[in-house]
Structure 1
Amino acid sequence: MAKVHEFTVEMTCEGCSGAVERVLGKLKDKGVEKVEISLEKQQVLVTSSIDADSLLETIKKTGKTTAYVGSTDA
């Protein structure tokens, strides 16, 4: 079942948010349904059936400081 996972990600520019979008985009056919990025709030919302730890590790591949906030049912 898909959940909406919330992460805080240290992003300073469009390039940063683009990097996050790229790494999560690679999981589109593996369980990620939707990615919403707010550069202003330093927030990434991922609607996915993939577990939070896996998503966190994927986002960390960008080199950005990332923290898992929590999840809600999609």
Structure 2
Amino acid sequence: MSDNQYHYDVKMSCSGCSNAINRVLSRKSEISKFDISLENQAVDVTTSLPYDDVLNIIKKTGKEVLGGKVVV
């Protein structure tokens, strides 16, 4: 199965917020790459997981996901 790229707009107020997301995403072996931008309030993920699975992983940190899209 090929990897998909997803973009999420996530409300993050500090480095603790981005670190929490970093921790949960780095635990998933199905996620091959991710980039968290506190400045842009964005999380980009490359993974074999479905969009909604990654969305739920991010939501489990307690951060508000304002939107998102499938990039590729």
Q: Which TM-score applies when normalising by structure 1?
A: 0.89
What do you get for the CA RMSD once the two structures are aligned? 1.0
**What is the deviation of 1:20?**
0.3
Counterpart for residue 52 of structure 2 = 53
Aligned residues: 71
Structure 2: which amino acid aligns with 1:49? S
Structure 1: stretches of 5+ with no match in the other structure: none
- Determine the C-alpha separation between the residues in 2 that align with 1:40 and 1:66: 15
- Superposed, 1:1-74 pairs within 5 Å as 1-27=2-28, 29=29, 31-73=30-72
- Determine the C-alpha separation between the residues in 1 that align with 2:59 and 2:66: 9
Structure 1: which amino acid aligns with 2:42? Q
- Determine the C-alpha separation between the residues in 2 that align with 1:67 and 1:53: 14
